[in-house]
Amino acid sequence: MLCPYCKNEESKVIDSRQSEGGMAIRRRRECEVCQKRFTTYERYEDIHLVVVKKDGRREPFSRAKLLGGLLRACEKRPVPTETLNELALAVEREIWNSDAAEVDSAVIGEKVMEKLFSLDEVAYIRFASVYRQFKDIDRFMQELNRLVSNREQV
């Protein structure tokens, strides 16, 4: 790390602390030549995950948008908000762990539905009806019948 005063490359770390809610490390350094002190920050590289929508549009991944969909699906259901936060975080982690720079919205939707299925059946149906764009009652009934048959197998 270059000293901002004398441009020497040699410095020693005097103190390190977490900063910005654990998203950065603040380091207090001392130049070995001029003995002046300065602060540096180490942060994650800002990598953006892009979601490819059904119509081909691309937009940045938003956990807030994902959480909004979960909240709507679980409205008036006995599902704690903290559980939904954890579900959204789990889906986000799975996506990041895939090491893909882009992810189809269909992949996100399927991961959410998989987790909602075991969490709350009504929320699952609500989310599925929007995600799968049920056009009529027959498609809705197919999904309900699938849900019932899966429940009977368990």
Tell me the two tokens of residue 29. 């350094």
Angle at 57 between CA 52 and CA 63, to 5 degrees: 50
* pLDDT, tens digit only, all 154 positions of the chain: 899 999 999 999 999 999 877 778 999 999 999 999 999 999 776 567 899 998 999 999 998 999 999 999 999 999 999 999 999 988 988 888 888 889 999 899 989 988 998 898 889 888 888 777 777 777 778 777 877 777 767 6
pTM beyond cutoff 0.75: no
Domain boundaries, the chain: 11-43, 50-153
- CA separation for the pair 111, 104 (Å, rounded): 11
Tell me the two tokens of residue 113. 């539905």
